[in-house]
Amino acid sequence: MGAEAGPLTGIRVVDLSMLLPGPLCSQHLADMGADVIKIENPRAADMTRYSDMRFGGVEKSAVEDGAGQSEPSAREDGTMFLLLNRNKKSVTLNIMRPEGRAILLKLLADADVLLEGFRPGKMEEMGIGYSQLKEKFPKLVYCAISGYGATGPLRDFAGHDGNYISRAGVMDLTGAEAPVVPGIQIADIAGGTLIALSGILAALVARGRTGRGQFVDVSMMDGAFSMIPLQAADFALTGKSPERGTLPLSGGLPNYHVYRTKDQRYVMLGSLEERFFRAFLRQAGREELADLLKSGQLAELKAALTQLFASRDLSEWMPLCENTETCLSPVQSVAQAFEDPQLKARGMVRRKVRGKREIVEIGSPFHLSGTPCDLDRLPPPAHGEHTLEVLSSVGLDALSIEELRKKRII
């Protein structure tokens, strides 16, 4: 393989996960060159395939346990699925049946990573948990993403992103008067996807040294909790929980704050360091306000800045947003972010034809100079698109595959 091959070229991932945290993790692995085989039940497809039909009402635990889902139709896959599953192959396989689990073992014979998002204990009940697989596949890196992890009093509890961040102390730090549900999935992605990705990569590095795989136990609540070190430092210092809006980086400092403009738009002033704040004030023609910060008159400074920003439209503030030293930026909508020249220049905004329509999708945030990611090796797969190809590669002949299809194993 040449220098242009992705950093994970030659790594095979068997992905049993569905919905958001696991599939986004395996997409990052696939973008880096890994051969990802996405396993879906033949009659219980990943429900993000139906995201354009208001997927949000589906009960997550039923999907994850493979229970009672209707047979997929030939409708075009949902946009959410398309944005989470490029560069993968799809195999339909009912691992709830013994014959399906036997085929899974064949796929794991030359796999490096198994990724799953079932509730803790579910895989063990089927005889394919890490405790059962590690003897047969000692080099396997087994990653399980769950809400609360494989141990502890909450391991069997159902939950979603909001539950994890509320218990982890994250939600109590959001909002103004009352906690609010954040606009993004913090525990799912930062606490689940990215922690799993880091754990898998670390386990692969360790395997290169020891020759042994290991269990990567990812708790989305743990991941969310790990994101509050600054707030934890304040708690350790004072012995009291931080109050919403009082910490320096969450509303306490007037020079690190969101302000409303005259035309009811918003800007973020992020000039923490004095030199950047002075640069902003100089460009805004209000250098005298620096004395309020220096003397600790924060309430007076916030009031003055609130009045200042409200005196001009966003268009009038944009020249300052484009200044390299002011640390001022517009608060953009998702639609505006997709038009942002910086994100476009970095390859983060992509327009791709998927099926019969063009969609916008997010590029890879991993920019590697010697082993770059390839985002276009494979389009998002149709449900079971690669079943015949993959099963043939592990020694099943056409007759055996047809028999499995008749039995609804694939």
In sequence order, the 6+-apart residues with CB closer than 8 A to the CB of 374 are 6, 31, 33, 87
Residues 150 and 142 sit within 8 Å (Cβ to Cβ): no
User: Phi, psi (5° rounding) for residue 19?
Assistant: 65, -120
- Selecting among 35, 188, 217, 234, the annotated active-site residue is 188
Residue 333, both tokens: 């909508």
Measured between alpha carbons, how far is 316 from 222 in angstroms, rounded to an integer? Answer: 43
Measured between alpha carbons, how far is 183 from 60 in angstroms, rounded to an integer? Answer: 19
With 0-12 / 13-18 / 19 or more C-beta atoms within 10 angstroms meaning exposed / middle / buried, residue 1 is exposed
Measured between alpha carbons, how far is 402 from 386 in angstroms, rounded to an integer? Answer: 14
With 0-12 / 13-18 / 19 or more C-beta atoms within 10 angstroms meaning exposed / middle / buried, residue 124 is middle
In sequence order, the 6+-apart residues with CB closer than 8 A to the CB of 68 are 44, 62
Residues 330 and 267 sit within 8 Å (Cβ to Cβ): yes
Measured between alpha carbons, how far is 106 from 326 in angstroms, rounded to an integer? Answer: 58
Measured between alpha carbons, how far is 229 from 269 in angstroms, rounded to an integer? Answer: 23
160 is catalytic: yes
Point out which residues pair with 38 in neighbouring strands: 15, 90
Can you tell me whether residue 43 is helix, strand or coil?
coil
Point out which residues pair with 260 in neighbouring strands: 266
- Selecting among 65, 160, 340, 374, the annotated active-site residue is 160
In sequence order, the 6+-apart residues with CB closer than 8 A to the CB of 89 are 35, 36, 37, 38, 378, 381, 385, 386, 389, 390
Measured between alpha carbons, how far is 102 from 92 in angstroms, rounded to an integer? Answer: 14
Measured between alpha carbons, how far is 119 from 99 in angstroms, rounded to an integer? Answer: 22
Half-sphere exposure of 262 (CA within 13 A, CB side): 8
Measured between alpha carbons, how far is 309 from 85 in angstroms, rounded to an integer? Answer: 43
Cite the active site residues. Answer: 160, 188
